[in-house]
C-alpha cells in the first residue's frame, strides 16, 4: 500500500499516513492557514518519522523563490574569492539558501554560459566577485530582473557594492609605523593600473607628506626584492620603515633586507597587506600586516543579497568595510 522505498517521501505520503488532506499537511508543516494544534503536532510527528523533506524544486516552482543564489567570479585559484565565498556561504546556509559557484576564468563566453544557467535555475540573486575592485562585470549582468551584489568589484551607479576600505587600511598601516616613531616611510606596492593600489598610495601620501615615496611595480615577491635593490643602490637617505602593497611584496622586501644585513624591525619596520597567513605567518620575523576581512565582506554581501531577494531596498553605492591591523613581529 505504501509506495515505499523507491523514491523520496512526498507530502502525499505524510498526509495519507496522518489521515489528513494534502493541504492540511502543508498548512500544519508550514504553520500557515488554520490548523488545530493537535493535528498540527501529529502531522509534524509523522513527517518526522517518515523523514519527509519538501522537494525544493516543486516549492521553488510555485513560490518563485528558489532559495539559491549564484556567485560569479572571474578567477579560479583565488585566494581572494574563496574566503569571500566561505563568508557568503556561512550566512546563506543559516537561511536555508544554497550557493552556486561559477568560475569564469575571465572568459566572456563562459560568463554568459554560467549566467544563463543561473537564470534558468531561477536563482534569487547573484553575487559578482572579482580579483580586483576595478574589473568590469560582464555586460549581461547589468540588465537583470534579479538583484545583483558586487563584492570586491564595482557595479553601475545604482548598484550595491562592497569593497575593503583600502584608504583606511593604508592609513592604519602608516599610522602604526608613525606611532613607532618612524618618519622615513617608503611605500612599495603593485601595479599602478590597479585602482586599489592607487587608493592606498594616495592615502599613504597624505600621511607621509613630502618625504613620502611610492614605488609601483608588480604584485610579486620578486618585485619586493628588486625594489630594495633599487633603493639601496641609490645614494640618499634610507627608509626606517616600509609599507608594502601585499604580503608577497613584503616578503620579498624582508628577504632582500636581511640579505643586506639590515635587521627587522629594529633598522627597518615592515608592514604588509592582505594577511595571507600562509605568507604572513611564515616570514621571519612574522609579518605585521593589514587584513581586509574578506570573510566579513562575504558575510555582508550574503546578507545584502538575502535582503534584496526578499524585496528589501538597499542604499546604492560602494560600502567600504574597515580593514584591521594584525601586529606580528615585523613592525
- Residues interacting with a second copy, by CB under 8 A? 8, 53-58, 60-61, 66, 68, 71, 76-79, 82-83, 85-86, 89, 93, 96, 98-103, 105, 110, 113-114, 116-122, 220-222, 248, 251-252, 278, 282
Please report how the helices 81-94 and 294-309 are oriented relative to each other, as an axis angle in degrees rounded to 10.
40
Is the alpha carbon torsion for 321, 319, 174, 228 positive or negative? positive
- How many CA atoms, within 13 angstroms, populate the side-chain half-sphere of residue 142? 9
Question: Which of the residues 60 through 99 are near DNA (CB under 7 A)?
Answer: 61-63
Output 10 or 39, the one with its CB closest to a second copy: 10
10 binds DNA (CB under 7 A): yes
Whole-number minimum distance, CB 116 to DNA, in Å?
13
8 binds DNA (CB under 7 A): yes
Write down the H helix ranges in 127-267. 166-179, 195-208, 221-233, 247-259
**Beta bridge mates, 70:** 100, 126
Beta strand pairing call for 269-273 and 288-291? parallel
**Beta bridge mates, 326:** 289
Whole-number minimum distance, CB 80 to a second copy, in Å?
11
CA-based R_g, the chain, Å? 26
149 binds DNA (CB under 7 A): no
Binding DNA by CB under 7 A: which of 21, 105, 175, 211?
21
Beta strand pairing call for 324-326 and 288-291? antiparallel
22 binds DNA (CB under 7 A): yes
Output 36 or 55, the one with its CB closest to a second copy: 55
Owner of C-alpha cell 576600505: 165
Binding DNA by CB under 7 A: which of 17, 20, 227, 268?
20
Tell me which of DNA, a second copy, none is bound by residue 85, counting a contact when its beta carbon lies within the kind-specific cut-off of 5 to 8 angstroms: a second copy
In the complex, which residues of this chain contact DNA (CB under 7 A)?
A: 7-8, 10-12, 20-24, 26-27, 29-30, 32-39, 52-55, 58-59, 61-63
Amino acid at each position: 500500500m505504501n509506495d515505499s522505498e523507491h523514491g523520496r517521501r512526498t507530502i502525499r505520503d505524510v498526509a495519507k499516513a496522518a489521515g489528513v488532506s494534502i493541504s492540511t499537511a502543508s498548512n500544519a508543516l508550514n504553520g500557515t492557514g488554520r490548523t488545530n494544534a493537535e493535528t498540527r503536532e501529529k502531522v509534524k510527528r509523522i513527517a518526522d518519522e517518515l523523514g519527509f523533506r519538501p522537494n525544493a524544486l516543486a516549492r521553488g516552482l510555485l513560490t518563485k523563490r528558489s532559495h539559491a543564489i549564484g556567485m560569479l567570479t572571474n578567477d579560479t585559484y583565488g585566494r581572494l574569492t574563496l574566503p569571500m565565498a566561505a563568508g557568503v556561504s556561512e550566512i546563506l546556509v543559516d537561511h536555508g539558501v544554497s550557493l552556486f559557484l561559477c568560475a569564469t576564468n575571465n572568459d566572456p563566453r563562459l560568463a554568459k554560459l554560467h549566467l544563463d544557467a543561473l537564470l534558468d535555475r531561477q536563482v534569487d540573486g547573484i553575487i559578482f566577485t572579482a580579483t580586483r575592485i576595478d574589473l568590469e562585470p560582464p555586460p549581461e549582468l547589468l540588465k537583470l530582473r534579479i538583484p545583483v551584489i558586487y563584492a570586491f568589484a564595482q557595479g553601475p551607479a545604482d548598484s550595491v557594492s562592497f569593497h575593503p576600505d583600502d584608504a583606511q587600511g593604508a592609513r592604519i598601516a602608516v599610522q602604526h609605523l608613525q606611532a613607532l616613531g618612524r618618519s622615513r616611510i617608503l611605500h612599495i606596492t603593485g601595479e599602478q593600473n590597479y585602482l586599489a593600489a592607487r587608493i592606498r598610495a594616495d592615502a599613504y601620501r597624505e600621511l607621509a607628506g613630502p618625504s613620502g615615496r611610492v614605488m609601483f611595480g608588480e604584485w610579486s615577491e620578486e618585485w619586493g626584492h628588486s625594489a630594495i635593490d633599487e633603493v639601496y643602490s641609490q645614494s640618499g637617505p634610507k627608509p626606517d620603515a616600509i609599507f608594502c602593497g601585499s604580503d608577497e611584496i613584503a616578503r620579498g622586501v624582508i628577504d632582500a633586507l636581511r640579505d643586506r644585513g639590515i635587521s627587522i624591525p629594529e633598522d627597518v619596520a615592515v608592514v604588509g597587506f592582505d594577511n595571507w597567513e600562509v605568507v604572513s605567518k611564515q616570514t621571519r620575523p612574522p609579518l605585521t600586516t593589514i587584513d581586509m576581512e574578506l570573510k566579513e565582506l562575504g558575510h555582508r554581501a550574503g546578507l545584502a543579497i538575502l535582503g534584496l531577494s526578499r524585496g528589501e531596498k538597499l542604499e546604492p553605492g560602494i560600502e567600504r568595510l574597515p580593514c584591521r591591523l594584525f601586529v606580528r613581529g615585523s613592525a
